[in-house]
Amino acid sequence: MVPKDEYRREPRFAPVQLNLTETLSEPQPDQQKISVFTTRIDTIYGVTSLLLAPEHPLVVQFSADNPELQKKVRELLEEQKIAREKGDLAALAKEGVATGRFATNPFTQEAVPIWVANYVLMDYGTGAVMSVPAHDERDFEFAKKFGLELKIVVLPRHANESEKGNAEPLLPYTHEDSLLINSGEFTGLGCQEAQQKMAAFAEQHGFGKPSTTYRLKDWGVSRQRYWGTPIPIIYCDKDGLVPVPEDQLPVLLPDSIAITQEGGSPLSRVPEFAQVTCPKCGGMARRETDTMDTFVDSSWYFYRYADPKNSRAPFDTDTVAYWFPIDQYIGGVEHAILHLIYSRFWTKMMRDLGLVKNDEPVEHLFTQGMVIKNGAKMSKSKGNVVSPDDMIAQYGADATRMYALFAAPPDRDLDWQEDGVAGISRFLSRVYRFAMQAMPRVIAGRSQSLPSTLNPLERQLMRKMHQTLRRLTQEFDGRWHFNTCIAAIMELVNELTADEKAIASGGVADSVLYAITRTLVLMLQAFAPYLAAELWSQMGEDIPLLHAPWPAYDEALAAEHVLEVPVQINGKLRAVVTVSAGSDSEVLRATADQDPKIQAALAGKEIVKVVLLPGKLVNFVVR
RNA sequence: GCCCGGAUGGCGAAAUCGGCAGACGCAGCGGACUUAAAAUCCGCAGGGAGCAAUCCCAUGGGGGUUCAAGUCCCCCUCCGGGCACCA
């Protein structure tokens, strides 16, 4: 599948150990070490403080005999917790407190103050961060607020020569296509190179080494909701967490439930659901009343489709192995992450458990556009969904379906509007009238073989038919731009109805009329299946329309014999000339030379160059 | 903030590999048929200048590459979607 970064592989330089000093004096050999985690070791000469997460173990030690600091740290932790629960950590105002301790930067041997900050997370990296205000957004904000020092150690690579050395970049300057300054022996290196060399230096001196870290996407699956899959776990005071025995699965949601405005899980207020006996000891126990995120269901439900009647298990491994992976997934861009990631994760988990044999749920992904209504995506949660029911009632399912396909290619967003469906409806009526008019001769033509030579009208119509068929065949196999398929069918029908009188008066053999009408119906079935099925049955075909094979187009019959070639002068269209297909450059040049418009336009000009593309284009470059 | 899409006539769009910008349709205008209307059929239709032939301008904006750019490169604006103190 296409989205492939559910975890990101990032080169990291971690951990770098900064020695802790009690004072600004020389570092002592027996002092403690704090591991920090960084992706920008190249900025380490710009470190002006060291930040710890409120939960960092050393914070406890630092604040042991300092109640004031303890209180402040508790506040910082609380702020962080609330922000994380709300999911808007980014909006959290940066707060922090100095511990009064100092750490020594192993690169510079400088001592920097140690702070506790509410935006440093204990569960990422090491819970300790080197703060480089000049080259990190967050540190910049923090340092400005608390008056901490800024040290510029990276300059834009493309700064003018004259500015070099004194150009102050707009702070914080975080780009990595840059050069180091004020960085000791590393000054003058590019960021990337510096990262390699400084990591090697750290490793050599035993205070750090590069590593690769994988960042997994968080997915908290439990929800305090009624709608969701029950989590089959029972809490017993005696036995702890007890899984619901397999013969009691699946746990079903209760039917009688009051959805109130109260907070908390609605299921916890349904005693007959929540109160159970422990499967182990038979004593009073409590059922888990959170349900699972609906993403859990959407992560695997499609496996059930391969084995829908299985009453023993969700699905049988071998039955599923026959069908999976799915050949083609079609979904909206808004699914490009989340659902798609989770379903891949779920498949890999089931693979590891031996439940499925495929590594990926899906082979190919087609990302369809969203339906937009009044500038926003149409979605149930936004309540701006427009039902096609009215349109179906007025124009029928065929016209509604075809209109939706005609409005835009499927990979593009579609701003839903209803003008235009009438045109499709008119088109389908026109097809029906034409076909029914021709029907007696179409039926007669069924049993006749095609004429050995086609007359000009027959040839023209057959050419158009094969061109249309070629277009559809290629689209179905490739881009899926059904809007242009429909346009192509319209062009074919336009040509047929334009020649309707000539066709009616016998200008086209019955067998040719049959061949064209039959192909038209086959092409139409993808877009207007009901009309196509009706016409097919009128034609008295032996096999059902759905079983009829897709017809093959004939490249020779589709080929144009006369080509119109644009003639340009300095790239601007000045004439169009007609040549027979297969004409070479000389013929093309001669034809263009003879065109009166071209002769007039070239008069008195010097021809510098002539671009000749046989069958495609002539361009005179003149002075 | 970061990542991914997108922007072309009054509207939906087409141009698939750098080669006639606007196919096909909607809405509109003119005409035929009709007592009249509906339906249907024919024609016109990006903007500007001109009686006309014809010419100029035009694919969100600005630069560039090229004989030739909606299409390729650089910068920017706006709209949509997703993610987001992950150091």
pLDDT of A433-478, one tens digit each? 999 999 999 999 999 999 999 999 999 999 999 999 999 999 998 8
- Relative to beta strand A33-38, strand A362-368 is unpaired
| Domain boundaries defined on chain A | 7-216, 222-292, 295-368, 421-558, 562-622
- How many angstroms separate the CA of A33 from the C1' of B87? 19
Fold match between A7-216 and A562-622?
no
pLDDT at A29: 56
A553: nearest Cα among A508, A521, A519? A519
Residue A153: CB atoms within 10 Å? 24
- How many angstroms separate the CA of A249 from the C1' of B70? 59
The protein residue nearest nucleotide B69, judged by CA to C1', is A571
pLDDT at A165: 44
Closest nt by CA–C1' to A376? B80
Provide the positions of strand B that have an atom within 7 A of a protein CB.
1, 4-6, 11-16, 19-21, 23-27, 39-42, 54-56, 67-69, 79-87
Pull the structure tokens for residue A23. 């004072």
Q: How many CA atoms lie within 13 A of A96 on its CB side?
A: 28
Closest nt by CA–C1' to A336? B82
Closest nt by CA–C1' to A139? B87
- How many angstroms separate the CA of A485 from the C1' of B72? 28
**Where does the pLDDT of residue A26 fall: very low under 50, low under 70, confident under 90, or very high at 90 and above?**
low
Closest nt by CA–C1' to A478? B16
pLDDT at A213: 66
- How many angstroms separate the CA of A559 from the C1' of B21? 24
Which range, A260-274, A319-333, A503-517, has the best average confidence (pLDDT)? A503-517
Instruction: Tell me which of A217-226, A406-415, A515-524 is least confident.
Output: A217-226
The answer to whether residue A482 scores a pLDDT higher than 80 is yes
Dihedral Cα A306, A312, A313, A318, nearest 10 deg: -50
Please list the residues that pair with A329 across neighbouring strands.
A365
| Residue partners of A188: CB distance under 8 A and separation at least 6 | A179, A180, A181
Average pLDDT over residues A532-555: 95
Average pLDDT over residues A520-538: 96
Q: What sign for the dihedral angle of Cα A68, A74, A76, A82? A: negative
The ipTM, to two decimals, is 0.93
Closest nt by CA–C1' to A369? B5
Closest nt by CA–C1' to A40? B87
Top CATH class of A421-558 equals mainly alpha
pLDDT at A263: 73
- How many angstroms separate the CA of A495 from the C1' of B54? 32
The answer to whether residue A37 scores a pLDDT higher than 50 is yes
- How many angstroms separate the CA of A502 from the C1' of B41? 16
Instruction: Tell me which of A21-25, A209-213, A591-595 is least confident.
Output: A21-25
Instruction: Tell me which of A102-106, A407-411, A509-513 is least confident.
Output: A102-106
Omega cis (within 30) before A15: yes
**Where does the pLDDT of residue A380 fall: very low under 50, low under 70, confident under 90, or very high at 90 and above?**
low
Average pLDDT over residues A21-27: 50
Closest nt by CA–C1' to A131? B87
Pull the structure tokens for residue A452. 């050995």
Which range, A190-194, A424-428, A602-606, A616-620, has the best average confidence (pLDDT)? A424-428
- How many angstroms separate the CA of A482 from the C1' of B5? 20
pLDDT at A140: 86
The protein residue nearest nucleotide B83, judged by CA to C1', is A337
- Relative to beta strand A414-415, strand A371-373 is parallel
**CATH topology for the A7-216 domain:** Isoleucyl-tRNA Synthetase; domain 2 (3.90.740)
A291: nearest Cα among A244, A223, A235, A342? A223
- How many angstroms separate the CA of A428 from the C1' of B1? 51
- How many angstroms separate the CA of A410 from the C1' of B6? 14
The answer to whether A21 and A104 have CB atoms below 8 angstroms apart is yes
- How many angstroms separate the CA of A107 from the C1' of B58? 61
Closest nt by CA–C1' to A216? B86
- How many angstroms separate the CA of A227 from the C1' of B13? 42
The protein residue nearest nucleotide B40, judged by CA to C1', is A430
pLDDT at A30: 59
The answer to whether A20 and A32 have CB atoms below 8 angstroms apart is yes
Closest nt by CA–C1' to A367? B5
Q: How many CA atoms lie within 13 A of A242 on its CB side?
A: 22
Pull the structure tokens for residue A216. 């997994």
- How many angstroms separate the CA of A411 from the C1' of B7? 16
**Where does the pLDDT of residue A317 fall: very low under 50, low under 70, confident under 90, or very high at 90 and above?**
very high
* C-alpha of A577 from chain center: 46
User: Where on the phi/psi map is residue A315: left (φ > 0), alpha (ψ -120 to 50), or beta?
Assistant: beta
pLDDT one-digit tens code per residue, A232-269: 999 999 999 999 998 898 899 998 887 777 777 888 88
| Stronger pLDDT, A97 or A188, i.e. the higher one | A97
**3-state DSSP call for residue A15?**
strand
pLDDT at A278: 95
Please list the residues that pair with A13 across neighbouring strands.
A38, A210
**CATH topology for the A562-622 domain:** Ubiquitin-like (UB roll) (3.10.20)
Average pLDDT over residues A76-100: 83
Closest nt by CA–C1' to A571? B68
Closest nt by CA–C1' to A576? B20
Residue A50: CB atoms within 10 Å? 24
Q: How many CA atoms lie within 13 A of A492 on its CB side?
A: 28
Rg (CA), chain A: 37
The answer to whether A42 and A180 have CB atoms below 8 angstroms apart is yes
- How many angstroms separate the CA of A408 from the C1' of B9? 17
- How many angstroms separate the CA of A407 from the C1' of B12? 6
pLDDT at A164: 42
- How many angstroms separate the CA of A73 from the C1' of B3? 35
Closest nt by CA–C1' to A333? B81
Closest nt by CA–C1' to A372? B80
Residue A45: CB atoms within 10 Å? 23
- How many angstroms separate the CA of A623 from the C1' of B54? 21
pLDDT at A233: 94
| Residue partners of A585: CB distance under 8 A and separation at least 6 | A612, A614
- How many angstroms separate the CA of A155 from the C1' of B77? 28
Nearest-angstrom CA–CA distance, A69 and A85: 24
| Stronger pLDDT, A573 or A377, i.e. the higher one | A573
